Structure 1
Amino acid sequence: MLVSLAVLIVASALGGMAGCASKAIPAAPPPAVVVVSTPLRQEVTDHEDFTGRTDAAQSVDLRARVSGYLAKIHFRAGDEVKQGDLLFEIDSRQYQAALDRAQAEVDGYDARVKRAEADFRRAEKLLPSNTITREEYDKIVADRGEAAAGLASAKAKVEQARLDLGFTRVTAPISGRIGRNLIDEGNLVSADSTLLANLVSVDPVFVYFNIDERTVLRLKRMAQEGRAEVRRGPDVPVLVRLADEKDYPHSAKVDFIDNRVDPATGTIRIRAVLPNPVQPDGQRRFAAGLFIGVRVPIGSPYQAVLVSERALGTDQGQKFLYVINDKKEVVYRPVLAGLLQNGLRVIEQGLESGERVITDGLQRVRPGATVEPKLEPMPVAPGRSETPKPAEAPPKANTAPEPSGAAAQPRKPE
């Protein structure tokens, strides 16, 4: 009986010890699943982005050349008008009367000239026979010259009266869009004083933007070092976009660069010419005063390696990527990031073609950890239908084998 009890006690003790041993060694957790992608290779062009405003290429304040009461307005506010179109009409009756009066004076002096010419011809025949005195002859000659001068003066008055009559019709000096009329019919218009309306051209429009002093100096230094191509002279191409556009779908050409840096703002003003044709809906896309984004390409296109912006991490100002090696281990990789191109970041140094980059799940991993990679295409910015092709290793040379991966280096000067 005592022996059986001792056996039971020992068995229970051994069973408890076995249970404690099994709980002390937990099962290892499975590797974290992370989404990885291979870098993309795409032709890109370095650029700098700025902001600016559109402005009319031509702007005219319409004023009358003569005074009078406004008789009629021949346009609707906001209409597009062509050069020479009639816009305002001033009461012309007094100017028509002045023209008629001046024309009558011309007729009177014309008659005087004809009579003076006849007297002169007779005097020339009578003078040799002393039928008239020299004094009488001189008076006839003077009357003839006075009549001719009076006729010329009367003709000038007619021309002035005709101009004044024409000035009662205010026409468009340029083609463009006219604003609202600033004076209504029946009001008195003062010559060269009363503002009637404003007229601006619509095609093309100007884009004004400023480049800061540091960027100007950096671009000059890059050009001197051969790292960027800087075009000089007119017709330098730039890309522009409206405030509600993500891409830069419109092209313009720089036609003016200011000759000095503004000391108050530390910037230099640049102007580009932007075409503004009529769209299929009958409207024009651009108007004066719009906010515009401007992208200035720098240098020639080149092939670059790109990754999604969300794959990049920052460690005390240092950009880095998490890549997966052949052992499925996470490797911390410092990189030199370049410009943002179509929603993807250019990697200038630190990333090799064909490597697998973690694009999702960065918070669940640490360097050296083993993970389970899930390969997916490199995420592209929303709204992009075109997916660039993955980066491929450079082709092997015929003389000697090359490593399978080539580092993505900054573009070398040509």
Structure 2
Amino acid sequence: MTGPRAGLDRVNEQTNMKKWAGLILVVVLAAAGWHYRDRWLPAADQDAGPAVPMVATAIQTNIQFAVQAAGEISPAEQVSVRPEINGRIELLPVDIGDEVRKGELLFKLDDKELRNQYESTKTMVDRARLELEKSRRDYERAQKLLAENLISQEMFDNARTTYELASNALERAQRELAVIEERLTKTEVRAPFDCTVLTRPVSVGQAVSGSGGFNSGTEVLTIADLNNLVINAHVNQADVPRLKVGQVVEVQVEAVSGLVVTGVVERIAPQATYRNNLKGFAARILLKNPDRRVRPGMTANVRIPVASAENVVAVPLAAVFTEKNPETGVRERFVYVKHGDRYQRRLVDVGVADNFFAEIRAGLQPGEQVALIQPPEELILKEEPPPATTTKAPASETSGEGASSSTAVSRPATAGRA
């Protein structure tokens, strides 16, 4: 048969052949998989026993526990310089980055109007002084004339009143003169300490308002003492009990590669605050003799040593387990010591710990191997031999707190480890 009918039959035949070929391929793969399962899986199940845990060797090393914190560097003293009176900038001899000594001129306001007021008020004071002298003479003369009954009481009273008014006028003029003199001293603003100019938002000739006016006055300069820098760090609340004022810390400045400077914990805030959704306490750290490359606004990483131990037996933190004794209610710390193919559960006394190792004060000897994960129950020895003794090395603590076994490993204990 030829034509469209024959072509359709050929297409159907090809389709049926593909279906059968695919079905045969699936059957072959299934048979091969079943054959592999029968041949290899039983052998694998027979060979696979309890999983052997990873182990580590107890070593003698030095351990240092330190608190890490980050903060921003800022000047210990920073002042926004604003005039106390209204005026116009006449002199502005400093600019951004200038170093100014204590007592040197920062800026000066135009004082011509004040000086004119001063001269005018000074003339008023001189006039009031002359009038007071004249009224005093008249009053003394009236006293004598009244004593001789040469004038009436009314005339005497008038002379006394004139004298008192002249005295009040002189006092008022003197007070006005003193106010103007004080305002004249405020036209010159000098550096309160050795400082560096950080900002200068105004220029010569610009009118400025005094600090007692609107918006606390116009800021003319911002100055700071860059010889004494501080770091305002935020310390986690779990680490604050280990800190104390006067501790020496190491500071790394991110912007200056390789630079490490020292500082001293100067203040610890008494109340917790939140920063980046973390509760902690603000700590102020004073930098000692900061490098000239360190500038305000840079980010610093602070390392605060808390406790240390030298030449002590130590194991990885993962090897120390914590469990509450159901009989005594005391939280016990222990390790699994390897003996041949099995493991012995042994109580240990944990000392200083850092982020990697924990000091073992008693219960373990250098060279003994301990499990890093809990061994299967069938590999744990049922009887516990007496624990090995360990020579306890004194731990030097930078802080009086944090070296005890309960605090040095407080955070890892939450995961079931020391």
What TM-score results when the alignment is normalised by the length of structure 1? Answer: 0.60
SS of aligned partner of 1:178:
strand
Alpha-carbon offset, residue 75 of structure 1: 1.6
Tell me the C-alpha RMSD between the 2 structures. 4.5
**Distance 1:411-1:64 versus aligned 2 partners, 3 A rule:** closer
**Distance 1:268-1:407 versus aligned 2 partners, 3 A rule:** closer
1:103-135 Cα offsets, whole Å, 9 max, x none, are: 111111111111111111111111111211111
**Distance 1:171-1:103 versus aligned 2 partners, 3 A rule:** same
* Matched residue, 1:223: none
Q: Aligned runs of 1:189-208 on 2, under 5 Å? A: 189-192=208-211, 193-208=217-232
Distance in 1 of aligned mates of 2:227 and 2:92: 25
Alpha-carbon offset, residue 56 of structure 1: 2.4
1:107-166 Cα offsets, whole Å, 9 max, x none, are: 111111111111111111111112111111111111111111111111111111112222
Which amino acid is the alignment partner of residue 263 of structure 2?
S
Which amino acid is the alignment partner of residue 297 of structure 1?
P
Please tell me whether the aligned partners of residues 266 and 284 of structure 2 are also in contact (alpha carbons under 8 angstroms): yes
Which amino acid is the alignment partner of residue 224 of structure 2?
V
Residue 152 of structure 1 pairs with residue 171 of structure 2: yes
Distance in 2 of aligned mates of 1:201 and 1:149: 48
Which amino acid is the alignment partner of residue 305 of structure 1?
V
Which amino acid is the alignment partner of residue 291 of structure 1?
T
Alpha-carbon offset, residue 59 of structure 1: 2.3
**Distance 1:66-1:307 versus aligned 2 partners, 3 A rule:** same
Which amino acid is the alignment partner of residue 210 of structure 1?
H
Unpaired runs of at least 5, structure 2: 1-55, 212-216, 320-336, 370-387, 396-402, 407-418
**Distance 1:148-1:273 versus aligned 2 partners, 3 A rule:** farther
Q: What is the aligned counterpart of 1:267 among 237, 257, 279?
A: 279
Distance in 2 of aligned mates of 1:164 and 1:122: 41
1:227-260 Cα offsets, whole Å, 9 max, x none, are: xxx566xx34141312346796413123232324
* Matched residue, 2:305: 297
Residue 187 of structure 1 pairs with residue 206 of structure 2: yes
* Matched residue, 1:258: 270
Distance in 2 of aligned mates of 1:124 and 1:256: 73
* Matched residue, 1:241: 251
Residue 82 of structure 1 pairs with residue 101 of structure 2: yes
Higher helix share: 2
Which amino acid is the alignment partner of residue 303 of structure 1?
E
Please tell me whether the aligned partners of residues 205 and 275 of structure 1 are also in contact (alpha carbons under 8 angstroms): yes
Residue 70 of structure 1 pairs with residue 89 of structure 2: yes
Alpha-carbon offset, residue 95 of structure 1: 1.3
Distance in 2 of aligned mates of 1:121 and 1:407: 100
**Distance 1:121-1:290 versus aligned 2 partners, 3 A rule:** same
Alpha-carbon offset, residue 86 of structure 1: 0.7
Distance in 2 of aligned mates of 1:256 and 1:185: 43
* Matched residue, 1:57: 76
Please tell me whether the aligned partners of residues 113 and 151 of structure 1 are also in contact (alpha carbons under 8 angstroms): yes
Distance in 1 of aligned mates of 2:389 and 2:149: 124
Distance in 1 of aligned mates of 2:175 and 2:92: 31
Distance in 2 of aligned mates of 1:256 and 1:154: 53
